Amino acid sequence: METKNADLSSLRIDRSNKEEINSGKKNIFIILGVILFLVIGYFIINSLFESSVEVKLTTAVLQKPGQTTASLNASGYVVAQRKAAIASKGTGRLIFLGVVEGDKVVKNQIIGRLEDTDILPQLEEAKANLELYKADLNSAENTFNREKELLQKGLSSQQTYDQAEANYSRLLASIEIANARIKQYEVAIENTLIRAPFDGTVLTKNAEVGEIVAPFGGSTTSKTAVVTIADMKSLLVEADVSESNIEKIQVNQDCEIILDAYPEKSYSAYVFKIVPTADRSKATVLVKVGFKDYDTRVLPEMSAKVSFFTERVDTSITNQKPILVIPSSAVRNEGSNNVVFTVSDNKAVKNEIGLGQTLGSYVEVISGLKSGQKVIDKLDDKIKDGVEVKLAE
């Protein structure tokens, strides 16, 4: 019996599956490594933010010493109580405008004029018809009187008398109609004239010569107001006062007004009126503050600060020059130095400052800061030079 030789060449190990398994394991390790790296990075970044100190900022502002005696401060705007957007009564093309911004006008002054070429001929025709009717009236009146006498003497018929009377009455009515038309056209011409309703100053010019002007802005191409004027003697400051503080305000209470445009100048004022309604959206009450005296620098729509005083104050105090102040809680005493902390690149930065007088909860800064510069308020032991900080929301 013969034994067959086995073919060992067909017996080979298939390594392809093993390589695929190894490759899959490597991918899994890579993914796990990336996830682990992200988790570690998240905790590192989170720990850095958690180590940041939450801070609030306050601003160095210019304030007058007299303001420290104020029971309440509020912001508002200068508003003219007597203000008008002047429009024409008629519709037409503007052919004349005699004022520009800043011009002073007096009551009934003609400041503009609309085209009236279509009305003038109608007015002349109405006047001519009136003269014609008046001329015919003399003849008709003589005829009527003559026929009346003849009828009384029995020398004329009733029909002839009635015709004379009708002709005379018709001419009288025609004269009345002509007079009415003349007045109508004169009013139409007057409506082409744009007059100032009161003494004031031109604030804005809203239309130009050549544009169509309509009393109610009849189309998108027509203008309604030609100019806006205001009585500069009726300027007040309208300030919003919180509902919770309105009990501190009384009519005729002494105030001080400081315009943001001229912080070095203050104006003596008084509470003119407390509007008897509140703004639901802002939870404020509108308070109108009148000037005791003011100059030409006070203009409508200027922003202003109002300080309300509980007692009558000496005007010499309110007229002092403003000084730079910050809350005393923003200052730390370190030995012989006084320091504040500003924020740069999310880090606290120590700054040495020079202090002056103490004004209530504020202190005067005489060196080291500028107006409008922000510093960290309510300092504690965590606030140090270079420490990471984040602003409180």
Please give the mean pLDDT across all residues of the chain: 84
Q: How many CB atoms lie within 10 A of CB 212?
A: 17
Sheet holding 332-334, edge to edge: 61-63, 323-327, 362-367, 347-359, 337-344, 332-334
Lowest mean pLDDT among 208-212, 270-274, 316-320: 316-320
Beta bridge partners of 112: 97, 194
The gap from C-alpha 315 to its chain's centroid, in whole angstroms, comes to 31
**The predicted structure's pLDDT at residue 142:** 87
What string of DSSP letters covers 66-103? GGGGEEEEEEEEEEESSEEEEE-SS-EEEEEE---TT-
* Percent share of the chain, pLDDT over 90: 41
Instruction: Judge whether residue 46 has pLDDT over 70.
Output: no
Check: pTM over 0.75? Answer yes or no: no
In the chain, the amino acid numbered 259 is: L
pLDDT digits (tens, 9 = 90+) for 149-179: 888 888 878 888 889 889 989 999 999 999 9
Contacts of 360 (CB under 8 A, 6+ apart): 68
Backbone dihedral region of 20: left (phi > 0), alpha (psi from -120 to 50 degrees) or beta?
Answer: alpha
Q: Read off the pLDDT band of 237 (50, 70, 90).
A: very high
Q: How many CB atoms lie within 10 A of CB 320?
A: 13
- Could you give the CA distance from residue 104 to residue 108 in angstroms, rounded to a whole number? 12
**The predicted structure's pLDDT at residue 89:** 85
Instruction: Judge whether residue 295 has pLDDT over 70.
Output: yes
Q: Give the torsion sign (CA, 31, 32, 37, 41).
A: positive
**Helical packing angle, 158-191 and 120-153, nearest 10°:** 160
- Could you give the CA distance from residue 369 to residue 354 in angstroms, rounded to a whole number? 9
Domains by residue range for the chain, with CATH = 53-63+322-391 (2.40.420.20), 66-82+232-318 (2.40.30.170), 83-115+192-230 (2.40.50.100), 116-185 (1.10.287.470)
Contacts of 181 (CB under 8 A, 6+ apart): 122, 126, 129
Give mean pLDDT, residues 387-391: 88
Q: Read off the pLDDT band of 136 (50, 70, 90).
A: confident
In angstroms, the first-to-last Cα distance of the chain is 99
Q: How many CB atoms lie within 10 A of CB 127?
A: 15
pLDDT digits (tens, 9 = 90+) for 59-92: 988 776 655 556 688 999 999 999 999 988 888 8
57 close to 392: Cβ distance less than 8 angstroms: no
351 close to 362: Cβ distance less than 8 angstroms: no
Lowest mean pLDDT among 215-224, 348-357, 367-376: 215-224
Classify burial at 276, counting beta carbons within 10 Å of its beta carbon; exposed 0-12, middle 13-18, buried 19 or more.
exposed
Cα separations (Å) of 172 from 134, 135, 177, 228? Answer: 9, 11, 9, 46
Give mean pLDDT, residues 342-357: 90
**Does residue 118 or residue 50 have the better pLDDT?**
118
- Residues 26-57 as b/e (b if ≥16 CB within 10 A, e otherwise) read eeeeeeeeeeeeeeeeeeeeeeeeeeeeebeb
Give mean pLDDT, residues 48-56: 71
Q: Read off the pLDDT band of 144 (50, 70, 90).
A: confident
Residue 74: name the closest of 260, 239, 236 by CA.
Answer: 239
Q: Read off the pLDDT band of 1 (50, 70, 90).
A: very low
**Does residue 249 or residue 28 have the better pLDDT?**
249
- Could you give the CA distance from residue 59 to residue 371 in angstroms, rounded to a whole number? 8
68 close to 360: Cβ distance less than 8 angstroms: yes
**The predicted structure's pLDDT at residue 205:** 92
